Amino acid sequence: MNPQPRERIVVSVGGSLIVPDQIDTDFLSRFKALVLEKIEAGLSFAIIAGGGKVCRRYQAAANSITPLSQEDLDWLGIHVTRLNGQLLRNIFAEYAHPQVVRDPTMPINTDKPILIAAGWQPGCSTDYDAVLMAKNLGAKRLVNLSNIDYAYTADPKLDPGAEKIEKIGWADFRKLIPEEWDPGLSSPFDPIAAKEAEALGLEVAIMNGAHLERFSDYLEGKPFVGTIIS
């Protein structure tokens, strides 16, 4: 009898968690322990690394010396996500596919319970890469671990009347965000990724990754602090 296939959860890990200023070894240790615990419980993961503050520092430094095109700035950011991805792959070395996935649309054949991926090409956010990875793998759930507790009806830094969202459908969520993606956009989820996720019927959970018990609760189907879009 063939064993029941593992559910593959796609997880986008913001660069703000991996390298908030220096590499956060405490977060990474706790994240590894939790992921391995869930693998023991029968799950598998595709983890996409973000760039965060390091990405913006590289872009700002290069641009201050030689004004760069948006494509060149994107490539700098992509390579930062790949460095962060390699860090994650090394941390999970025994359990992970041996290469960091750079193209989320290419066929992936692995029996490893962890896949690590990073940025793909200019014009694409890691949100969009994560959705394409979910499509490629047939995943039904995507978790966005960042430094915010919820998605809100507006940017709470700019609008004191912004309200937290605990559960929302894709059609209503997409009305709250711009139609086009921009690298400097302040949005809890990339609009292009949101459109593709809606077409796939993908469930996306947004939560603060610093509180990994929330991630654990979500994976176990328990109430958690965060937002579900479906």
In the chain, the number of structural domains is 1
Contact 115, 46 (CB under 8 A): yes
CATH number for 174: 3.40.1160.10
Question: Is there a domain that residue 187 lies in?
Answer: yes
3-state secondary structure of 144: strand
Of the candidate ranges 114-118, 141-145, 146-150, 209-213, the one whose mean pLDDT is the lowest: 146-150
Q: If 0-12 CB within 10 Å is exposed, 13-18 middle and 19+ buried, where does residue 172 land? A: exposed
**pTM, whole model, 2 decimals?**
0.94
Largest CA distance in the chain: 62
Question: Is there a domain that residue 50 lies in?
Answer: yes
3-state secondary structure of 85: helix
Q: Using one digit for the tens of pLDDT, what is the confidence trace for 61-91?
A: 999 999 999 899 999 999 999 999 999 999 9
- What does the angle CA 57 – CA 91 – CA 4 come to, to the nearest 5 degrees? 125
User: Taking the CB of residue 66, how many other CB atoms lie within 10 A of it?
Assistant: 7
Question: Is there a domain that residue 2 lies in?
Answer: no
Question: Is there a domain that residue 1 lies in?
Answer: no
SS (H, E, C) 35-80: HHHHHHCCEEEEEEECCHHHHHHHHHHHHHHCCCCHHHHHHHHHHH
Q: Using one digit for the tens of pLDDT, what is the confidence trace for 137-157?
A: 999 999 999 999 999 988 888
Q: How many separate helices (H) and strands (E) can be counted in the chain?
A: 8, 9
Strand partners of residue 227: 206
Question: Is there a domain that residue 208 lies in?
Answer: yes
Helices (H), 153-211: 170-176, 191-200
Residue 187 has pLDDT above 50, yes or no: yes
Domain of residue 115, residue span? 7-229
